[in-house]
Amino acid sequence: MVPFIEKVADVIGDEHCGFQTIAEFMGFTEESHIMIHRHLIQELKDHRDDYVEDGCPLPPSSTKWHNHNNEDAMTWEDEYLDQHDLFRDLMIFEKGEKPPQPKKESNKAEPILCDTPEKAMQQFEVIGGR
């Protein structure tokens, strides 16, 4: 891979290192990582549909993401649980491991109906003047 590496950035190894690397490669200083972070978040908000495809396998979020995500992104992970499952299945296949058992089909087409009869409304007499 060495012939394909064009530049190496030695940034501070913390939770901002990805943003610091982008800043440095764009000609800014490492300290510009906050600006890069804000611009990337705004880009994702403005063009979310351009980055997300239905049925596209997505790796699960980092465990640190829960500690550092934006309030606007709190529910994003829940929206992609099916895509996380697709990614896990793909990784199992790539590793040559035994494929997971097929998931049972949903019963949405034939929902279970409760045949419990509805009780008649009862009238109650109010006692004591409140």
Tell me what pLDDT residue 113 has.
Answer: 67
Q: Where are the domains of the chain?
A: 7-51, 53-98
* 10-residue averages of pLDDT along the chain (130 residues): 80 83 87 90 86 80 77 79 87 78 66 67 68
- For tokens 């199992």, name the residue: 92
Classify burial at 58, counting beta carbons within 10 Å of its beta carbon; exposed 0-12, middle 13-18, buried 19 or more. Answer: middle
pTM recorded for the entire structure? 0.41
Give, as one character, the DSSP assignment of residue 58: -
Residue 106 has a pLDDT of 65
Rounded Cα distance between 29 and 47, Å, is 27
Q: How far is the C-alpha of 84 from the C-alpha of 77, rounded, in Å?
A: 9
Q: What is the pLDDT, as a whole number, of residue 105?
A: 67
CA distances from 47 to 23, 39, 52, 58, 80 (A): 21, 12, 9, 18, 17
Q: How far apart, in Å, do the first and last CA atoms of the chain sit?
A: 82
